[in-house]
Structure 1
C-alpha cells in the first residue's frame, strides 16, 4: 500500500510553471501530503478540481482566464468541502480581506518559508482559518 494513500490531497493552481514545480516537489516530500493535480489557467480550475477532489487547493490570485478570486468563489460554491488557500505575491490587507470574504480559508504569500507553508496547510486542512 502506498504510504501516501491517506495523506492530505493538494491541488496547485498557478500560471508560473516554476512555482508549481517548486511547490509540488516541496509538498510531495512531506509524509502526510501529496499533490494530486495542477492547473496553469483559471478557466480549467473547476473542472480539474472536480475531477480529483483535493482536500486543499492553493490558488494564485493572478491567473489568466479567470482570476484567483473568481476561481475561489466558483470552487467554494460547487465544492464547499475543499479548503481553499489564496497564494499571492502581494502583502495587501485589502486583498487578504477580499480573499476571505470570497470564500478562501486563508491567504499566504509566495515568499513564505517552507516550514511555515507546511504548518499553514496542516492548519487549514484541520479547519483553521489563516
Structure 2
C-alpha cells in the first residue's frame, strides 16, 4: 500500500529536500506541495492525501489556522507537523488543533519516514525527546524549590 502525501512548507529548498527523501521510499508518494496555508487547503481538498506534512510558520495562513480550516472541511485528514519549534506551547497548540503528529525538523529522515507511516495508520506521534525535555525542565524547576 502506498501512502500519498501533500507537503506544505514556505521554504522551497525544504520541500525539495523532503520530496527527494520521500521519493526514495517505494511506499510513499508525494502527490502535492505548496508554500502556504491557503494553497494547502486547496490541494488537500482536491488531492485527498493520506497524510499532510505541514509547517507551522507559513505566509498567507499559519499552520494553526490552516489545520482548523482543513479539518472543518475534511475531518479525516491526518496531519503531521514538521517544525523547527520545540517549545511545548507549539506542540500542544498543534495537537489541540487536530494534528496527530509533531516532528522536529532536526529529526533524521528515517525517523520522519517512521512517523509518516504511523500517522498514516492513525497513530499519534509526538517525539520522545520532546517528552524528555519537558520532564527535564520539570525536574529542574522542582529541584530548585
TM-score range normalised by the length of the shorter chain: over 0.9
Q: What is the root-mean-square deviation in Å for CA atoms of aligned residues?
A: 0.9
CA contact (8 A) 1:55 1:81 kept: no
1:1-130 equivalences in 2 (<5 Å)? 6-130=1-125
**Counterpart-to-counterpart distance in 2, 1:14 and 1:101:** 20
| Count, aligned residues | 125
Q: Which protein has the bigger helix share?
A: 2
1:71, distance to aligned residue in structure 2 (A): 0.8
Q: TM (normalized to structure 2)?
A: 0.83
CA contact (8 A) 1:15 1:63 kept: yes
Q: TM (normalized to structure 1)?
A: 0.93
CA contact (8 A) 1:56 1:125 kept: yes
- 5+ residue gaps in structure 1? 1-5
- 5+ residue gaps in structure 2? 126-145
Give the 4+ runs in structure 1 shifted more than 2 A: none
Which is worse superposed, 40-49 or 88-97?
A: 40-49
